[in-house]
């Protein structure tokens, strides 16, 4: 398995690895990550991953909506040129590694590391399966797509430009921990996490790497929220590189009596427990995160990142907003007015029934068996059986 760069690539890999081990306990699952990836240790520590190797990979820096202006950004262009060299280095590293390992099948989840590994697999005629969670496939998967055995996708296959006969809709693979959460489950999780002193719980997460603009906006809202709701607790997942600064900022901004009501984390390997315990979640619009919260039927306030390649988070959020399954706040609006988060937050925290109804609409879009479906496809490719009829 290969993928990385964000939690949206890592967590589906782990979900599929878990299902593979259930279906084939003797399978040896090897991870190939990107050298220097801040989240590679998450793969390495997973009990279903037998071994982890890393190779070089490069990033093509593109920003949605910037167009030709990016060509004038000399530092960015120089970094892109440097990283193209790293792609070449990673390709030769991947070629040596895959020639030695000779896997039966390769799973390419996405992320820049998928390019050198996927191209090496194509040259060695090792079959591989790609997976795209978002409506717009990532560049890495598009580059290796021509030689893939199958393309597994999160949305109806008609959304994608892949050949229909090679495309299978499976949904977004989720860790087995993500499932419907009852009111009793929510209170049990709060006791388990030592959060049962709170009558309301707000979870904020900008993804595995964090989101500075989202952090800043929530930071400005928290003092007012703590005043308005005496029993409110906030769990703020800042991103590993942003954790220390945000914790320090809260300690300076909040009176001593309120500091224990805001819990800052860099990254959570047990995010499912905190999201299960939360009444409301503020999040970006990554496809994996939204699928996870849909499985738990959680009320979400979504702030899609408009700068990510192709505007894929905007497309993800629009699908959900059109179905009235989320509350969406525009990133540009939030940049101008951090308190734009307050109206939807107050609405959902004041009215638990409204929050539950919103979570149930999101739950109606969940596909809880995606990881198992994808694991079965991988085993069928690995054993050289014909794949099932396309769905």
> What are the tens digits of pLDDT across the range 246-289?
999 999 999 999 999 999 999 998 999 999 999 999 999 988 88
> What are the tens digits of pLDDT across the range 63-72?
544 554 555 5
pLDDT band at 76 (very low <50, low <70, confident <90, very high): low
Q: Which residue has the higher pLDDT, 265 or 73?
A: 265
What is the CATH topology of the domain spanning 2-172+369-382? Rossmann fold (3.40.50)
Q: In terms of Cα–Cα distance, which of 293, 232, 239, 244 is closest to 267? A: 239
Q: CA-to-CA distance for 176 and 255, rounded, in angstroms?
A: 39
Residue 290 backbone dihedrals phi, psi, to 5 degrees: -65, -35
CB 35 within 8 A of CB 56: yes
Place of tokens 């997460």: 205
> What are the tens digits of pLDDT across the range 11-28?
899 999 999 999 999 999
Residue 158: how many other CB atoms lie within 10 Å: 9
pLDDT band at 141 (very low <50, low <70, confident <90, very high): very high
Q: CA-to-CA distance for 5 and 186, rounded, in angstroms?
A: 31
Give every CB contact of residue 129 below 8 A, 6+ residues apart in sequence: 105, 106, 107, 108, 148, 149, 150, 151, 152, 374, 377, 378, 381
Place of tokens 């906006």: 217
Buried b (16+ CB within 10 A) or exposed e, 196-232: eebebbbbbbbbbbbbebbbebbbbbbeebbeebeeb
Domain boundaries, the chain: 2-172+369-382, 183-363
| Mean pLDDT, rounded, for 353-366 | 94
What is the CATH topology of the domain spanning 183-363? Rossmann fold (3.40.50)
């Amino acid at each position: 398995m290969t993928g990385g760069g964000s939690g949206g690539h890592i967590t589906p890999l782990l979900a599929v690895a878990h299902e593979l081990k259930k279906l084939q306990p003797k399978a040896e699952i090897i991870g190939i990550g990107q050298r220097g990836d801040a989240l590679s240790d998450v793969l390495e520590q997973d009990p279903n991953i037998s071994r982890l190797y890393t190779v070089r990979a490069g990033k093509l820096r593109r920003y949605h909506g910037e167009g030709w202006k990016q060509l004038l950004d000399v530092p960015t262009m120089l970094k892109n040129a440097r990283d193209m060299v790293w792609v070449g280095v990673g390709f030769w590293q991947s070629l040596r590694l895959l020639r030695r390992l000779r896997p039966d099948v390769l799973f390419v989840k996405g992320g820049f590391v998928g390019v050198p590994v996927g191209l090496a697999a194509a040259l060695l005629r090792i079959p591989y399966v790609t997976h795209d969670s978002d409506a717009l496939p990532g560049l890495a998967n598009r580059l290796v797509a021509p030689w893939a055995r199958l393309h597994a996708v999160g949305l109806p296959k008609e959304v994608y430009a892949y050949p229909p006969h090679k495309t299978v809709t499976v949904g977004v693979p989720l860790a087995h921990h993500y499932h419907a959460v009852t009111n009793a489950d929510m209170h049990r999780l709060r006791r388990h996490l030592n959060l049962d002193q709170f009558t309301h719980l707000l979870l904020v997460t900008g993804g595995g790497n964090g989101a500075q603009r989202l952090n800043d906006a929530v930071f400005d809202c928290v003092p007012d929220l703590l005043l308005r709701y005496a029993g409110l607790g906030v769990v703020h997942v800042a991103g590993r590189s942003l954790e220390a600064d945000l914790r320090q900022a809260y300690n300076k901004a909040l009176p001593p009596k309120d500091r224990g009501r805001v819990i800052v984390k860099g990254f959570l390997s047990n995010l499912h427990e905190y999201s299960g315990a939360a009444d409301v979640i503020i999040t970006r619009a990554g496809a994996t995160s939204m699928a996870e919260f849909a499985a738990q039927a959680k009320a979400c306030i979504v702030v899609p990142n408009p700068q990510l390649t192709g505007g894929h988070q905007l497309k993800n959020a629009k699908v959900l907003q059109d179905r009235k399954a989320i509350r969406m706040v525009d990133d540009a609006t939030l940049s101008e007015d951090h308190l734009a988060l307050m109206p939807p937050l107050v609405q959902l925290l004041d009215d638990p029934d409204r929050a539950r109804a919103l979570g149930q609409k999101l739950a109606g879009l969940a596909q809880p068996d995606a990881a198992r479906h994808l694991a079965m496809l991988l085993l069928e490719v690995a054993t050289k059986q014909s794949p099932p009829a396309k769905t």
